[in-house]
Amino acid sequence: MKKIYSGQSFLYRANGYNSTVFEARMTQRIRGDSLETAVRNTAKRFPDMTQKLVEKDGSYYLHPDSVSLNAVPTKRLRTLGSMETGYHLIDVTFTGNIIRVAFHHALCDGMGAKDFLQTLLYYYCTERYQRQFNNEGIHTLDEVIDPREFQEPLPSQPYQVDRDAIKPMTTDGFQLPESTPGAVECCRTEITVDQKEFVTLSKNHGATPAIMAAMLFSRSVLRQFPEADKPILCNMAADMRFAIDGAITRRNCTGSFYLPYSKDDEASGMAQVAANHRRLIAEQRSEDAAHQSVNNQIGLFTKLESMPSLEAKRQMMSMFDHLLLNTYVLSYVGRMRFNDFGRFVKSVHMYSGGIKGLTINMVAAGDSMTFDVLQGFEGERYVQGFVRELQEQGLGCRVGDTLPCETGADRSHVTARRQAERWYAVAQ
């Protein structure tokens, strides 16, 4: 069994860590038999994603799970790491025209789960419609599994960094008055726009889709708080694989890019703001800055490893239970690669429970660009403000109701201590 290193920030929580969910909405009702076949094939291609958690001497490991992964017809998001999910850290459920893949962030990050979903829907559509689809860019059973796909990404030693070459960044943003690190409830609102129209809008202003979303949402917040004492700060989730020799792993490999937005930006044209954001991202992607970001993670996990017991590690990591990232978090996993079977996919959503503050998850799939706005508080002012910005750009928006967002609970931190393998399996 192999030790979890990069995913440790999602472990050692007193109450576990709520699942994150990819929800694919298909054009037709789901056939359970076709999905079950797809799950079997996908599980064979992704053996690393069907493992269970084992605790040994205060550390967590991944070990092959002898219980098969199945597709279950239910609306309920089940508890990961529990007996009902076969102790798996990933779960596939379906109802109506919806397929849900719930995963534990200690197992993989969003890009890793995206690969799993793409393969799952490829095999589902192949079985459901009895035809061969284009599998370019999709992991299938026809290719040899590369062990680098499930390697731990972080190097054993920190990178050598020239700190003087790193440009300072604004990392302290305006705090939304409703945001609190003690939030116990989460709600979700869906916003959907036409993907091609949004991408065209972005290109017309020299922006990527993520930068365009950040500009519009930050502007909507600043317009509600024109006297904000700090800039509106977008914490943009960043795939850091580029900084680690182009790693192809599915393990956690994420960081953050910081994009502040102020009155000066509001007075500038959108093209100028997009150029500024591109420059800031380029500076944070520089070799020294990116390696320092990775070094920060190495330092945290090295300190964690020095803790003498499981309880001490939980005490240290309890700081994440109340971590609040101001002003908001934006996560864009990019465009789903569904090739020619994408016509059977209406949209894909990504969400998770237990949110503190405000997070926006973006996914491009089918003809849709979806924004799932997650809040650790009630109210629709930020959704409405964002929708106004989108509409001002000529985009038609479909806005769903604001509903409670409770994803599956986590029992893996409990059942990991009960696995028989902790007594005899060789730890690596």
What pLDDT shows up at residue 16? 87
Strand runs labelled E in 4-160:
20-26, 51-56, 59-64, 71-73, 90-95, 98-103
Q: Are 105 and 116 in contact (CB under 8 A)?
A: no
Helix axes 287-305, 310-317, angle to 10 degrees: 140
Q: How far is CA 299 from the centre of its chain?
A: 23
Could you report the per-residue pLDDT of 274-314, keeping only the tens digit for each? 999 999 999 999 999 999 999 999 999 999 999 999 999 99
pLDDT confidence tier of residue 146, bands split at 50, 70 and 90: very high
Domains and CATH numbers, the chain: 2-154+409-424 (3.30.559), 170-404 (3.30.559.30)
Nearest residue to 397 via CA among 374, 361, 375, 368: 368
Measured CA to CA, the distance from residue 70 to residue 42 in angstroms comes to 11
Torsion of Cα atoms, 137 then 252 then 349 then 343, to 10°: 10
Show the tokens assigned to 193.
């726009």
Tens-digit pLDDT profile for residues 400-428: 999 989 898 899 999 999 998 888 778 77
Q: How far apart are the first and last CA of the chain?
A: 6
Q: CA separation (Å) from 200 to 75, 121, 209, 211, 319?
A: 36, 27, 9, 13, 41
Distance CA 54, CA 47 (A): 16
C-alpha dihedral sign at 28, 30, 36, 39: positive
pLDDT of residue 425: 79
Bridging pattern class, strands 187-194 and 368-375: antiparallel
Question: 202 with 224: CB under 8 angstroms?
Answer: no
Residue the block writes with tokens 């059977």: 344
Q: 203: which residues sit within 8 A by CB, 6+ positions away?
A: none
pLDDT band at residue 319 using 50, 70 and 90 as cut-offs: confident
Q: Is the dihedral of CA 104, 105, 107, 112 positive or negative?
A: positive
Averaged pLDDT score across all residues of the chain:
95
Distance in angstroms (rounded) separating the CA atoms of residues 105 and 61: 14
Range 33-38 average pLDDT = 98
DSSP 323-368: ---SSEEEEEEEE---GGGGGGEEEEEEEES---SEEEEEEEETTE
Q: Rounded to the nearest 5°, which phi and psi values hold at 47?
A: -60, -25
Q: Give 51-94 pLDDT, tens digit per residue.
A: 999 999 999 999 999 999 999 999 999 999 999 999 999 999 99
Q: How far apart are CA 329 and CA 331, in angstroms?
A: 7
In SS3 terms, 366-397 reads as CCEEEEEEEECCCCCHHHHHHHHHHHHCCCCC
Task: Please tell me the predicted confidence (pLDDT) of residue 426.
Answer: 80
Exposed e or buried b per residue across 287-305, where buried means at least 16 C-beta atoms within 10 angstroms of its C-beta:
ebbbbbbbbebbeebeebe
CA dihedral (222, 228, 230, 231) in degrees, to 10, reads: 10
pTM for the model: 0.96
- State the Cα–Cα distance between residues 3 and 152, nearest whole angstrom: 9
Reported as type and span, the H/E element at residue 399 is: strand 398-399
